[in-house]
Amino acid sequence: NAGVTQTPKFQVLKTGQSMTLQCAQDMNHNSMYWYRQDPGMGLRLIYYSASEGTTDKGEVPNGYNVSRLNKREFSLRLESAAPSQTSVYFCATETGANSPLHFGNGTRLTVT
């Protein structure tokens, strides 16, 4: 049982390049989330998906797009990476309303 799997684990991009962060879960959870974590700022919500086919903006959505391909997969795309997007990105799933989140292992992204 892998839980929440994120790929890649590490990535270095040049400014202006694009990439997609992948997240897949085998926990059969409806809700999925993308957070970024920066030193001193805690975890900030980028986008979330309450169910297959729906996505909504979180606190810091600018510069990102998401796709909820099916119940298992929720991807995060950077169309034109900027140094301000250097961060650690976490995907998470939620067991139910007001329940805790379960996190993937994270993707460490550096934009130069």
Partner 1 sequence: QKEVEQNSGPLSVPEGAIASLNCTYSDRGSQSFFWYRQYSGKSPELIMFIYSNGDKEDGRFTAQLNKASQYVSLLIRDSQPSDSATYLCAVWVFSGGYNKLIFGAGTRLAVHP
**Residue labelled with tokens 């049982």:** 1
Strand partners, 6: 23
User: Is 84 strand, coil or helix?
Assistant: helix
**Between 28 and 98, CB nearer to partner 1:** 98
Q: How far apart are CA 67 and CA 49, in angstroms?
A: 9
Among 1, 42, 62, 70, binds partner 1 (CB under 8 A): 42
Q: How far apart are CA 20 and CA 44, in angstroms?
A: 19
Number of residues that bind partner 1 (CB under 8 A): 24
Indicate whether 12 belongs to the interface with partner 1 (CB under 8 A): no
Site for partner 1 in 78-107 (CB under 8 A): 90, 94, 97-106
Residues that bind partner 1 (CB under 8 A): 33, 35, 40-45, 48, 56, 58-59, 90, 94, 97-106
